[in-house]
Structure formats: C-alpha cells, structure tokens
Amino acid sequence: MLIRLEPRAEASRAMVYQSPLIAVVLTLIAGMIMFRILGTDPLQAVHAFFIEPISTVQGLAELLIKATPLILIGVGLALGFQANIWNIGAEGQLTLGAIFGGIVALAFFDVESIFLLPAMLIAGIVGGMLWAAVPAFLKTRYNTNEILTSLMLVYVSFLLLSYLITGPLRDPDGFNFPESRLFHDSALLPIILEGTRLHLGFLVALLFAVLAWLMIVKHIIGFQIKVIGMAPAAASFAGFKEKKLVWLTLLISGGAAGLAGAIEVSGPIGQVIPVVSPGYGFTAIIVAFLGRLHPIGVVLAGILMALTYLGGDSAQITMNLPNAVTGVFQGMLLFFLLASDVLIRYRIKLGAPRVREVTQRQEGVT
Amino acid sequence: MTDTPRLELIGITKAYPGVVANNNVSLKVMPGEIHALLGENGAGKSTLVKFIYGVQKADSGILKWEGAVTDIPNPNVARKLGVGMVFQHFSLFDAMTVEENIALGISPELAKSGLTQRIIDISTQYGLPLEPDRYVHTLSVGERQRIEVVRCLLQDPRLLIMDEPTSVLTPQEVEVLFQTLRQLAADGVSILYISHKLQEIKDLCHTATIMRMGKVVADCNPAEETPRSMAEMMMGGNLTPPERTANAALGAPQLIVKGLSVIASDSHGTDLKEIDFEVRTGEILGIAGIAGNGQQELMDVLSGEVLVDDPKSITIDGNSVGGSGPNRRRSVGMAFVPEERLGHGAVPQMSLWENAFLSGATRMNLLSNGFMRIRESEDYASTIVEEFRVKTPGIANVAASLSGGNLQKFIIGREILQKPGIIIALQPTWGVDAGSAAAIRQSLIDLAANGAAVLVISQDLEELFEIADRLSVICEGRLSPGRKTEDVNVDEIGLLMGGVANDPITEAAAHAD
C-alpha cells in the first residue's frame, strides 16, 4: 500500500483559520507524550510550561514583553511574505537595530533629554532598514535570492555586534566584560504597568499591527502587495512596480525588526550585550505563518509563541526540564501547522499512484 | 466498415459535487469514422474524454471497445487498447529534441532503436514533416502539434482523440491536418474530434454528437447542417450574431505605432520588427496571426508592461507613451484586455470588486490619498455585472469562481466602462462559450460605433472577419499593411499568416533538408 497526497477540489476556508488552533492542540498532545517519555508527569509539566508562567500579573507582563519583538517583526515579515518576498534575516536586522539604538544611547550617555529615546528608536529603524536594503538592492539589481542574502547577513550582524561589544562599545568601567554601560533613565522605555517591567514598546507593537492591518485592507500598497503575491502578471497588468514593492516590503520588515532591536536594548535589557535576542527574528517567521500573515492574527500568534519562551524558563526552574524544550515546542508547532496546511489542500489516499502523466495532462482536456 | 462500433458508450454518468458533468451519455464511434464531439465550455466534453482515456472513472455506464465491455482504469491501458490522444496543451520539453520528446511519451518497447526511422516514415506517410533531431523550442506551434500527432501514430492507434487541434494553426496548416486525418480515417482509424469551430466540423466530420449541460442533445450529420443550426443546438437557443451598423465616420488616429522594433526579453520570444500601424476612432483593426508570431510581445509593448526605448514609437491621442507604464497609458485613454484571464487580467483569488479596482483605479477615480474607495469600487463592479450580464451570485465572489465566458465579459466590461479612447484586446473570446463570445464581439463593435478605436489581436479568423474593419497579419514579428476587410479573403490572410509566399509545408520540408 502506498500513501500519496491528492489535491482537494476546494480548500475549506474555515479550516484555514482553524488550522493554527489544531496545530496548537496537537503540539500540546505531542508535548505531553514527550514529557511522559522524559519521565515527568505530563499534566504537571504542561501546567508548569503553559499555566504557571502567566498565573501572576508579573508573568502576564513578561509574556507581553516577550511578545513585543515577535509581534513587531512578525507583522513586518507577514507583509513581505504576502508579496512572496522572503526576508529570513530579521534576526540580523534586529541586531543592527539594537546596535544603532545602543550607539545613540551610549553616545549621549551623559545627556538627559526626552528626545534621546525617540532618537534611539529611529536609529534602530534606520539600522534595520540598512541591513534589509542590502538584500533589496541585490535582488532588484542582480536578481539574487533574498532568502540567502538576508539569512547570511544575520551572521555578519552577529560578528559586528561581537566586535563592537568587545571593542568600541565596551563599558570602560566594566572590568573588560563584553557589555556596554547601563543606559540611564532617559534612554529607557517608560513602564506602562506599575510593578512590572511591561514597557511602552508593547503598545508600539500593537499600534504597528493596527497600521499594517489598515494598510493591507484599505491602502493601495496593501492591495499591491496582495496582488503581486497572488498573481504577479496581474500586478504588472495593473501597472504595479515589482521592484518598488521589493524595496518597500524589505524596508518595512527590516525597519520593524530594527525597531524591535532598539526596543529590546532600551526596554528589558537596558544595555548592549553580546546576545540581544533569543532568536526572535527567526521565531517571528513561525509567528507570521501561525498568524496567517494577518496582522491581528500575528498579534495572537506572537503572544502564544512568547509563552513558549516563558514556559521553557519556567519548566527549567520548577521541573528541571532542559531549556531546549522551548525549541522543541516551537518546532512542533511549526511542523503541525505546516502539516495541517498541507492537509487543507490535499487529502491522503491509499493505493498505487496513477500514472504520472495523468496529473500532468488532466488540465489539458477541455 | 464493419457494423461493430470501435467505441460505444452507454449511459455514462459522472457527477461531481454540485454538478452532473455527464448525464446518461451514449455515443458510438464506428471504425474509420471522424466523429465530432461538440459543445460549449462546461458541456461535459472533457469529462467524457477523460473517461475514455482512463483518466477518470464514471459513476455508472458501460464502455464497449470493439463490441466487448471494457474497463479502462488508466491511460496506459487506453494506449494498449489503441486509444491515442492529442491534447490541446502540449506536454513537450523545450530543451529536448523531437525524438527525445517522442521517446519519453511512448512505451519503452517502442522507444528502442530504429525510432528515428519510424518517425521519418510516419511523418512522410501522413504528410507531417518533422526533423527528429531538432530542438522543440525552435519549432512553431504547428510543428509541435505534429510531434504529438506522430507520437500517437507511432502506437498504431485505432481511436485518435483530438482536442481542439486547430486553434493554433493557419488555415493552410489546418487543411494539411485535415488531409492527414482523412487519410487516417480511410485507413480505418476512428477519430473523435473535439471542437467548437462549426465550419471545421462541417468540413471534416462524418457525424457529430452535440452536448449541452452534461447531456447529449443531438446527433447529426454535419454535412446536412449549417454552422448556425449546430450552434443553436449547442447553445439551446437562438444565436444572435453580432450586428454591425454602417461604418461610422472615422475620426482622428487614436493609436499610432511607428517604427516599433523590440528585442524579445524571453529567449524563445519573437522580436518585433519595424511595426507601423494606426487605429482611428470609430474603427476596429484586427491583427491576425498564428500563435507565437509576436502577438504577446506586441501586446506587452502596447500595454506598457514592457517599455520601449523610443517614447515616440507609440502615441496615444497625441501623447508619446513608449516609455511610460500602464497607468500613464490608462490615464491618456488606453484600456487593455490581456489574453490570460486568470492571473493576468484578473486575480483569481480576489473578489470581483477588487478586480474591478485592479485596472479601474486610475480612470474611475477609485483612490483617495492612497486609500481604496471601497464603496465606489463595489458600485463600479456592480455596474459591470449588470450592464454586461455577468452571471455571478455577487461581487464579493472571487474571480476564479466565474466561468471563462462570464469572467471575460466582466473584464471586457471593466475596460469598456472606463470609456477608453482606444481598447486593445488580445484573443478576447479565447475559450469562451458561443453566447458570451457573441456578446463580447457585439460590445466591441458598439464601442467603436460610439467613437472609440478598437484593436483586436486574435488567432480566430472567423472572429476577425466578423468584427474588423481592417485586417493586418503579424508573422515572425512583422506586421503586414492593413487592408479593408471586404477587400481580402481568408486564403490571402492565410498565406500572410504562413509568411507570404512560404507555404508552411514547403517551408517545413526545407528545414528537413
């Protein structure tokens, strides 16, 4: 007996929106099986992973703090993904944003000004945009693959940060530790919930999601992004310029990632350190797809993925489980999501495949 | 001829969710008979053929092959029985030679040594000149079709199914194909000929089975029918052919193309060479030609999807636009109807109102400060649907849910309602049912009568003779001078389509040397 996939006549629309939920449920079940095998009580482990971290106000605040960069980056990436422009290097753009924002903060480490913070955030956006401009230029000019160029630049950005933090940006009074000075108060994002670390950045992320949603639904640019993603020839018929959209979506997603980087250093971190992100830029790719490339969906998906980070920490502390559990959960979630997406469009059939020619030629008959 | 039919179908029924594609269809094809299967798009022809070729199973019904009840579970079995099929869209690899392509599509036993000689034998026997070692991308569409035909013939078919085979051929090439088919029939091969070109069926076929909405509505002898009577059976109603009012007064040239030469961006494309023409208000200029002679390239350049170096080589209403994109051209009064409906003229997954916005944004004033005026776009879409009788449950439905004819009416309507000074349509009724095609042609005629210039680039000669005031022919990227439609006949146009003095056959034979 052979197993094969056969295209469905029509994909169920309802299922397109239900598949993220199904993926979450399957991840939970598989996770419980995994905990069982690891020798812990599955229910207790799931409780420690998913419930405990958000059972306090502090916990909820931490959840939103972690969700902030995921939402910012995920929304930006989703715009590009809708236009079939694949920015995989958000992690690098985030790092550049952190560097640029950090440089501004450190250059004015003795200046108290209400303009410092906005300047840092803008510098972060510029940094992310610059880093994304490289793949945009290479793609529009030399037709390179932006997946490869943007991804490779991630590692360049890590090295750049490494150099800066062990050199020019190192705290002169820091006993040679690879860390910058601590930012002073006017370089830090204001706290919006007393008694927690929840900062203004979360509201910025929400605002960005709403703006992106408006753009996608009502603005000509959003329309152009959708058309070019669904039917490139129709976009050229309508006179939309593909190169312009490549630049635009890469700059928006790069800028958003850069902003997320600047927010990280001016928010929860408060200084420049050798590793500014636990892989938010890559996780945001999962967030974008989990959120169905829809800005509001991305907000929800960002919060869910943030929980896997918190849960990993919590499971490590209370259950002695390895921190790798976070990565496993993220991986399973993506895997189940992709699997359910495949099954929306295809059904599983048992039996010998038909002759290859058939599927190729079927459409030919009128 | 014997009395046992080569193929007999009895009571074939096949239902898809929501639609009965074949309802109790019965059909007999005798040995040596050329049998037409006639029907509009969606009449169930393709379902029936898929069943005969083993691609699809029927829900009920019997297939008899030479008198014996037979089951054809897949195309391999069909080929072993002796069923050959030439598809409308060829499955050929451009980067491989003729022989390699043929070897790929036949059973391994046949593909062994001596194939070259057999290809040459068959092609000379049936007047289908082919060079086995030429690369497919260097061949014309007509030659590519020959590969498919020869591939079938190599397997000694006893039933040959041809799906719309003439849509890509010149009248002369069609005549050659018909000779081949008649010779095959004389040798005892049965031919099931699918088409909606009624004149051809009348010329070629011995019998015709007419289908409508999944049912057989008539069996007839095409020789005794008129194209019109067959069309009416096919549509189940009276056909109103487009009517032309007396020639409206010609006005100023709307579109002037002068010395237009373009190197094709695609290496398999056709370069345009020194093209000159103009279209005046009130007239319809038709450009005939066989597929792949530069029509797509010309359309791309005229629509602004491909820009030219010399802006002055294209003028619309006095504006030089050669270097401007589609939006600027729209704003000076141009409208376009691309050949491909889904994916080019319309976005399949988008709703009708979004598709109305797609090309209407500029001229219909559907944008304010970069934001889409959604209400106005919806009104515009509703107007198109009403005025051009587009059958759809609503403007929120996606373009892909419309039938070919309805979507084409929508696209043509969308362009016409923008009140263009000049409209350019490539293959406007390609793959469209007869009723919609007539409506579309009529709307183009009306548009010209109301003082617009109309340019129709089409491979359908009947269509061009029906609507065009003047005719030009494009061949290998060159355009012949326009001539009044009443002053030319099909043969002259056909010769121009094949490259003036070059008879397609002698030309192909010359390649073989």
B327 touches chain A (CB under 8 A): yes
A223 contact residues in B (CB cutoff 8 A): 354, 357, 372
Per-residue pLDDT at A313: 86
Is B91 within 8 Å of A234 when comparing Cβ atoms?
no
> Contact, A91 vs A276, CB < 8 A?
no
B53 contact residues in A (CB cutoff 8 A): 365
B509 touches chain A (CB under 8 A): no
> Does residue B409 register a pLDDT over 70?
yes
Nearest by CB to A223, which of B75, B344, B372?
B372
> Does residue A322 register a pLDDT over 90?
no
Q: What is the 3-state secondary structure (H, E, C) of B411-438?
A: HHHHHHCCCCCEEEEECCCCCCCHHHHH
Q: What is the CATH number of domain B7-235?
A: 3.40.50.300
User: For tokens 């030479």, what's the residue?
Assistant: B66
pLDDT tens profile B154-174: 888 899 999 878 766 777 778
Per-residue pLDDT at B247: 60
β strands within chain A, DSSP E: 3-7, 346-350
d(CA A197, nearest CA chain B) in Å: 38
A217: closest chain B residue by CA: B372
pLDDT tens profile B181-232: 999 999 999 999 988 777 888 889 999 999 888 889 889 998 888 877 887 7
Is A355 within 8 Å of B194 when comparing Cβ atoms?
no
- Answer whether B7-235 and B253-333+421-512 agree in fold: yes
Per-residue pLDDT at B508: 43
Higher-confidence residue of B10 and B268: namely B10
CB within 8 Å of chain B, chain A residues 205-244: 218-221, 223, 226-227, 230-231, 233-234, 236-239, 241
Is A218 within 8 Å of B357 when comparing Cβ atoms?
no
In this prediction, residue A1 has a pLDDT band, given cuts at 50, 70 and 90, of low
When the pLDDT of each residue in chain B is averaged and rounded to a whole number, the result is 85
Q: What is the mean pLDDT of residues B461-477?
A: 89
Per domain, the residue ranges of chain B are 7-235, 253-333+421-512, 346-419
The number of beta carbons lying within 10 Å of the beta carbon of residue B491 is 10
Nearest by CB to A361, which of B91, B305, B357?
B91
Nearest to A131 by CA among A306, A257, A38, A222: A257
The percent of residues above 90 in pLDDT, for chain A, comes to 56
d(CA B166, nearest CA chain A) in Å: 14
Is A239 within 8 Å of B325 when comparing Cβ atoms?
yes
In this prediction, residue B59 has a pLDDT band, given cuts at 50, 70 and 90, of confident
B454: enclosing H helix or E strand: strand B453-457
The percent of residues above 90 in pLDDT, for chain B, comes to 36
B382 touches chain A (CB under 8 A): no
User: CATH topology for B253-333+421-512?
Assistant: Rossmann fold (3.40.50)
Is A226 within 8 Å of B372 when comparing Cβ atoms?
no
Q: How far apart are CA B486 and CA B481, in angstroms?
A: 15
* Beta pairing, strands B483-484 & B60-65: unpaired
Q: Reduced to 3 states, what is the DSSP secondary structure of residue A269? A: helix
Q: How far apart are CA B3 and CA A242, in angstroms?
A: 63
Per-residue pLDDT at A288: 94
In this prediction, residue A76 has a pLDDT band, given cuts at 50, 70 and 90, of very high
Q: What is the mean pLDDT of residues B417-439?
A: 88
- Report which residue type is found at B264: A
- Report which residue type is found at A70: L
Q: What is the mean pLDDT of residues B477-500?
A: 83
Is B305 within 8 Å of A362 when comparing Cβ atoms?
no
B162: closest chain A residue by CA: A365
The dihedral formed by the CA atoms of A281, A287, A293 and A298, expressed in degrees to the nearest 10: -110
B194 contact residues in A (CB cutoff 8 A): 366
Nearest by CB to A230, which of B45, B87, B347?
B347
CA distances from B509 to A126, B127, B129, B166, B513 (A): 65, 10, 6, 20, 7
In this prediction, residue B284 has a pLDDT band, given cuts at 50, 70 and 90, of very high
In this prediction, residue B507 has a pLDDT band, given cuts at 50, 70 and 90, of very low
The residues, ordered by sequence, that sit 6+ positions from B263 with a Cβ below 8 Å of its Cβ are B271
B75 touches chain A (CB under 8 A): yes
Per-residue pLDDT at A355: 41
Q: How far apart are CA B110 and CA A219, in angstroms?
A: 60
> Does residue A360 register a pLDDT over 50?
no
pLDDT tens profile A122-179: 999 999 999 999 999 999 999 999 999 999 999 999 999 999 999 888 988 888 888 8
B397 contact residues in A (CB cutoff 8 A): none
The residues, ordered by sequence, that sit 6+ positions from A255 with a Cβ below 8 Å of its Cβ are A76, A93, A125, A126, A128, A129, A132
B336 contact residues in A (CB cutoff 8 A): 237
The residues, ordered by sequence, that sit 6+ positions from A30 with a Cβ below 8 Å of its Cβ are A332, A336
Residue B303's φ and ψ, nearest 5 degrees, are -80, -15
Identify the residue among A236, A360, A365 best suited for mutation to test binding to B, counting B beta carbons within 10 A and taking the highest.
A365
A231: closest chain B residue by CA: B343
> Contact, A187 vs A107, CB < 8 A?
no
Per domain, the residue ranges of chain A are 63-321
Nearest by CB to A238, which of B16, B75, B359?
B359
Q: How far apart are CA B387 and CA A219, in angstroms?
A: 28
Per-residue pLDDT at A85: 94
Q: How far apart are CA B378 and CA B383, in angstroms?
A: 9
Q: What is the mean pLDDT of residues A114-124?
A: 94
**CATH classification of A63-321, choosing from 1.10.3470, 1.10.443, 3.90.226, 1.10.287?**
1.10.3470
Q: How far apart are CA A208 and CA A213, in angstroms?
A: 8
In this prediction, residue B455 has a pLDDT band, given cuts at 50, 70 and 90, of very high
A236: closest chain B residue by CA: B305
Size of interface A-B (CB pairs under 8 A): 103
- Report which residue type is found at A171: D
Q: Where are the alpha helices (DSSP H) in B2-111?
A: 45-52, 75-81, 98-105
β strands within B299-437, DSSP E: 314-316, 319-320, 334-337, 367-368, 371-372, 422-426
Higher-confidence residue of B451 and A263: namely A263
Per-residue pLDDT at B2: 57
For B234-271, b/e burial (b = at least 16 CB within 10 A) is bbeeeeeebebeeebeeeebbbbbeebebebeeeebbe
Is B327 within 8 Å of A218 when comparing Cβ atoms?
no
> Does residue A340 register a pLDDT over 90?
no
d(CA B153, nearest CA chain A) in Å: 18
Angle between the N-to-C axes of helices A280-290 and A57-82, in degrees from 0 to 180, rounded to the nearest 10: 70
Q: How far apart are CA B189 and CA B182, in angstroms?
A: 9
Is A237 within 8 Å of B354 when comparing Cβ atoms?
no
> Contact, A257 vs A90, CB < 8 A?
yes
Per-residue pLDDT at B315: 93
* Beta pairing, strands B371-372 & B83-86: unpaired
pLDDT tens profile B70-94: 888 888 888 888 998 888 777 888 8
Is B350 within 8 Å of A220 when comparing Cβ atoms?
no
B326 contact residues in A (CB cutoff 8 A): 236-239
A320 touches chain B (CB under 8 A): no
A220 contact residues in B (CB cutoff 8 A): 361, 367, 370-372
A366 contact residues in B (CB cutoff 8 A): 41, 45-46, 88, 163-164, 194, 431
Q: Reduced to 3 states, what is the DSSP secondary structure of residue B295? A: helix
> Contact, B34 vs B209, CB < 8 A?
no
A143 touches chain B (CB under 8 A): no
Is B354 within 8 Å of A241 when comparing Cβ atoms?
no
A360 touches chain B (CB under 8 A): yes
Report, in this order, helix, strand and coil percent for chain A, each rounded to 5.
Answer: 70, 5, 25
Token output for B407: 């979507």
A243 contact residues in B (CB cutoff 8 A): none
B88 contact residues in A (CB cutoff 8 A): 364-366
The residues, ordered by sequence, that sit 6+ positions from B302 with a Cβ below 8 Å of its Cβ are B255, B257, B314, B334, B336, B424, B455
Is A363 within 8 Å of B336 when comparing Cβ atoms?
no
Token output for A272: 């420049």
- In this prediction the pTM is 0.76
Per-residue pLDDT at B505: 41
A355 contact residues in B (CB cutoff 8 A): 74-76
Per-residue pLDDT at B245: 63
d(CA A226, nearest CA chain B) in Å: 9
For B504, left (φ over 0), alpha (ψ -120 to 50), or beta? alpha
A363 contact residues in B (CB cutoff 8 A): 89
Is B305 within 8 Å of A236 when comparing Cβ atoms?
yes
